[in-house]
Amino acid sequence: MTSTLRNDRLLRALLRQPVDATPVWIMRQAGRYLPEYRATRERAGSFMNLCRTPELACEVTLQPLERFPLDAAILFSDILTVPDAMGLGLHFVEGEGPRFEHPVRTPAEIAALAAPDPELELGYVTDAVRLIRRELDGRVPLIGFSGSPWTLATYMVEGGSSKEFARVKGLLYDDPATLHRLLGVLSDAVAAYLNAQIAAGAQAVMIFDTWGGSLTPAGYREFSLVYMQRIVESLQRESEGRRVPVTLFTKGGGQWLEHMAASGCDALGLDWTTDIGDARRRVGDRVALQGNLDPAVLYASNERVAEETRKVLESFGDGPGHVFNLGHGIHPAIDPERVAALVEAVHAGI
Amino acid sequence: MTSTLRNDRLLRALLRQPVDATPVWIMRQAGRYLPEYRATRERAGSFMNLCRTPELACEVTLQPLERFPLDAAILFSDILTVPDAMGLGLHFVEGEGPRFEHPVRTPAEIAALAAPDPELELGYVTDAVRLIRRELDGRVPLIGFSGSPWTLATYMVEGGSSKEFARVKGLLYDDPATLHRLLGVLSDAVAAYLNAQIAAGAQAVMIFDTWGGSLTPAGYREFSLVYMQRIVESLQRESEGRRVPVTLFTKGGGQWLEHMAASGCDALGLDWTTDIGDARRRVGDRVALQGNLDPAVLYASNERVAEETRKVLESFGDGPGHVFNLGHGIHPAIDPERVAALVEAVHAGI
């Protein structure tokens, strides 16, 4: 686990330290756009089996690194493992996304929830982290992650994905105290979960706030950001003699970057609706920035991918603090060749 | 058609003139949350029949005004009538939304498109406008509308709704000239369509850019805003001796309000992810603002609806230029009583 890290560009860039080339990784880099991923997923039988079997999670985590000279690995897992460990019964319905067998809606159901012990109830995740670190053997750093409390709460209250957030927003507006109770226990659970990933070997962590952008500005601060901030404050920020950088990513959060940058995190993930140069002018001396190529650029030719990649690099400009990524997860229909073109363009620089 | 307008709050507020109370209307106010709408829709047989039969379109347009003291009527129609009139064959698949029988994807298919003559090929819309004006008899003004060229193009190229915009963004990045050709003909078509609505009696018009927020900032300006601006410049801005205000609404456009305000429009529609007071500080002396209650507030109690409504009014503050609305269309599951509470709270003021 303590083998020397041979490529530390990601960790340096997240801390705004100089690097020899902009580091790059891709959200969902271990995913359905890779035929080898689809083969392992097939062998696993189900998506949850894939997540719950450390050897298979490790296998798919490493797959994109075999193809592309990426600068980081990210733990293969799902954002909903924490509520699953809280007893909600996560399963996946083909073509419909995640579902919980036991959604929580009433004050009594929410009061009965407790933060799981990650080493006991999410041991398959920490086992996967340890195994991936061993297999990576210092090649690149490993990123751990979790969903944000607000994002987890939306799935837990709605029972699955949602477009209108009828139930969780009904709770937000009609019984905010109960929602705050849920978000409080989720903050404790996520902090413990990320600390367990760090103890097991995660060298950076990221909090995915997929649905923070569905809130009003005031609602975002009260129901999402404050809980991410509480988690940031509870994290073990030093491990194996290095700082463990924390990245916050709120999809649709481009209007709230100043607030996010004041949370104590090291870096902000940006979706593609914000110009990264403008974002840097707004917050760039306080945090690093990760992003933010439109994932749909990868439907175009290799030449256009390289050109659009250069535009993002140019917009960020010189100086430290940029981790290249897409503005959201890579789409399943993308040709892996496009990713090769992207990674090459990032490392070649502006 | 020229009966005196007895309630002109909407038109005055859109032009930033003083009003005795903040005007209010609701996006999709004639819609599925109303049992009387569902009954008419049932009688019509299909959604497209409802749009294509002026008597039925008029009937559902007026339904919400019978229940609530709203300050405007909005033409009942669909944003996709223009591409339908261009020969793409619009139909609706239950639970899946709009579909085009003949999507356009190749340069040849796009080159073959022509802007329809609205009085000939969209006569059912202008007939509906004339009928609604007659039935309204000066009670409140009638708003006409269209989808934005970019939003129409997404449906026309994808063949229906999309989450990833694979085809239209592939075109955007790989063959922008062809996409510009499509957006050009759509701009001509939308301008002619809105001018025909104005000639038939629409007293204000609104352009719905539902998918502008899926673009990068540079992409938004190049592929959506510039075409809306071209339409604004082509519109007949005076009718029946009054100015015809134009409102632009880009869902997810909160980061680009300054650019939108410079388009020559009179008002901007805001979704709920921007604080309306902040928006006013950014652009409020140039344009009026319409919005922006989170539509999910209507899942809460009447008391909370009134309270959240007051918060939006307070955030906007004193002075002219506010048209109250939701930040997006009303959800079908909402209890109509909530709308009554909202309208009452708006008219009661802060």
Cβ atoms within 10 Å, residue A102: 13
Contacts of B155 (CB under 8 A, 6+ apart): B80, B83, B98, B100, B161, B162
Which of B164, B219, B296 has the CB atom closest to A165's CB atom? B296
CB of B304 less than 8 A from some CB of A: yes
**CB–CB contact B301 A254 (8 Å):** no
Cα–Cα distance measured from residue B12 to residue B4, given in angstroms and rounded to the nearest whole number: 15
Report the candidate in B283, B272, B348, B295 with the shortest Cα–Cα distance to residue B321: B283
Q: Are A119 and A200 in contact (CB under 8 A)?
A: no
Q: Which amino acid is at B41?
A: R
Q: Is B250 left (phi over 0), alpha (psi -120 to 50) or beta?
A: beta
Contacts of A320 (CB under 8 A, 6+ apart): A12, A13, A16, A17, A18, A19, A288
**Chain B residues whose beta carbon lies within 8 Å of the beta carbon of residue A331:** 164, 166
Query: How many CB pairs below 8 A link A and B?
Result: 95
Integer-rounded Cα radius of gyration of chain A: 19
Residues of B marked active site are found at 28, 32, 41, 78, 155
Which of A170, A255, A297 has the CB atom closest to B255's CB atom? A255
Cβ atoms within 10 Å, residue B89: 12
CB of A282 less than 8 A from some CB of B: no
Q: pLDDT in tens for each of the 350 residues of chain A?
A: 457 999 999 999 999 999 999 999 999 999 999 999 999 999 999 999 999 999 999 999 999 999 999 999 999 999 999 999 999 999 998 778 899 999 999 999 999 999 999 999 999 999 999 999 999 999 999 999 999 999 999 999 999 999 999 999 999 999 999 999 999 999 999 999 999 999 999 999 999 999 999 999 999 999 999 999 999 999 999 999 999 999 999 999 999 999 999 999 999 999 999 999 999 999 978 999 999 999 999 999 999 999 999 999 999 999 899 999 999 999 999 999 999 999 999 999 97
Query: Considering only residues 94 to 123 of chain A, which have any Cβ-Cβ distance to chain B shorter than 8 Å?
Result: none
Q: Which two tokens stand for residue B175?
A: 């063959």
Q: Are A250 and A260 in contact (CB under 8 A)?
A: yes
3-state secondary structure B294-311: CHHHHHCCHHHHHHHHHH
Coil, strand or helix: which one is B273? coil
How close, in Å, is residue B13 to chain A by CA atoms?
Answer: 24
**CB–CB contact A217 B274 (8 Å):** yes
Which of A173, A255, A296 has the CB atom closest to B254's CB atom? A255
Q: Are B19 and B316 in contact (CB under 8 A)?
A: no
As for the ipTM of the complex, it is 0.95
CB of B166 less than 8 A from some CB of A: yes
pTM (two decimals): 0.96
Q: Are B17 and B288 in contact (CB under 8 A)?
A: no
Instruction: Tell me whether the omega of the peptide bond preceding residue B7 falls within 30 degrees of 0, making it cis.
Output: no
